[in-house]
């Protein structure tokens, strides 16, 4: 389910002021595109920027101006796992 992230500092681009960005759910295709970008020689940051652009629909110029703390919020919990970004480990059974 898409979620809207308020930006700590608005970003202006081509006459539009972005005060928030809506992030869509991550798809398998998004993950494949990220892997392809990285294996194709793009840096991790460039591949991450492409992923965030895909998930938000925001132009590259906007994503480049997003603050690091906002970026953290934009990419937090991509798998819907309760905030860790990875599935929660299961407890080992005790006897």
Helices (H) and strands (E) in the chain, counts: 4, 2
pTM of the model: 0.71
Residues shown for the chain: 95
Q: What is the pLDDT of residue 62?
A: 94
Q: What residues form DSSP beta bridges with 30?
A: none
The string of pLDDT tens digits covering residues 28-43 is: 999 999 899 989 998 9
pLDDT (average), residues 63-78: 85
Q: Are 1 and 66 in contact (CB under 8 A)?
A: no
pLDDT tens, position by position, 5-36:
999 999 999 999 999 999 998 899 999 998 99
The conformational region for residue 72 under phi > 0 = left, psi -120 to 50 = alpha, else beta, is: alpha
In three-state secondary structure terms, 25 is coil
Lookup: tokens for 72? 């953290």
pLDDT band at 73 (very low <50, low <70, confident <90, very high): confident
Domain with 36 in it: 3-75
Residue 36: inside a domain: yes
| Domains in the chain, number | 1
Residue 54 lies in a domain: yes
């Amino acid at each position: 389910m898409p979620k809207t992230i308020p930006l700590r500092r608005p970003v202006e681009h081509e006459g539009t002021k972005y005060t928030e960005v809506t992030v869509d759910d991550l798809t398998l295709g998004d993950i494949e595109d990220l892997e392809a970008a990285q294996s194709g020689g793009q840096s991790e940051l460039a591949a991450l920027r492409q992923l965030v652009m895909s998930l938000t629909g925001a132009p590259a110029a906007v994503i480049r101006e997003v603050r690091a703390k906002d970026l953290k919020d934009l990419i937090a919990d991509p798998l819907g796992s309760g905030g860790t970004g990875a599935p929660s480990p299961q407890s080992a059974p005790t006897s």
